[in-house]
Amino acid sequence: VVMKIIKHCSQTFPTTATGFLVGMDAKSTLEITNSFPFPTIEPPPTDGHHDNNAMSNHTAAAPRHKANTIYQNEMIKKLREVNVDANNVGWYTSANLGNFINLNMIENQYHYQKELNERTVAIVHDVSRSSQGSLSLRAFRLSPAFMLAYKENKFTTE
């Protein structure tokens, strides 16, 4: 699973890569048994100029994008048909030099924990740091206190 995430993130670098994770929640252990990249989303048309920031924001929002939600549900349905672990346990994204905490990241994780399961995780693979010799792979989850503050609009990125 780790190798699939690393490969996907490295192939799309410097563009943000995202995908979803499947596995099992066994007692106090979250087991990730497979990962699948989200299909590439074309950015909305602009005035003819290539806007890297718009593409990056659009890609970063991918986990909660309607087409990707449908894609996840179809993949999980097919995995169940062949009797493979098919519980959505989170999502992954790539980062560049530790730069990944933003509103999209928070909204995606909030969506996963609220809609799917409070124990879902976000895995972040930092491609730039990993290329310097040591693997940079971290898992994150929003705390219950943060989830409540975000729900009540008591959180801003400013």
Single-letter code of the amino acid located at 39:
P
Q: pLDDT digits over 104-155, tens only?
A: 888 889 988 988 788 899 999 988 888 888 888 899 999 999 999 988 988 7
Q: Please tell me whether the overall predicted TM-score, pTM, comes out greater than 0.85 for this model.
A: no
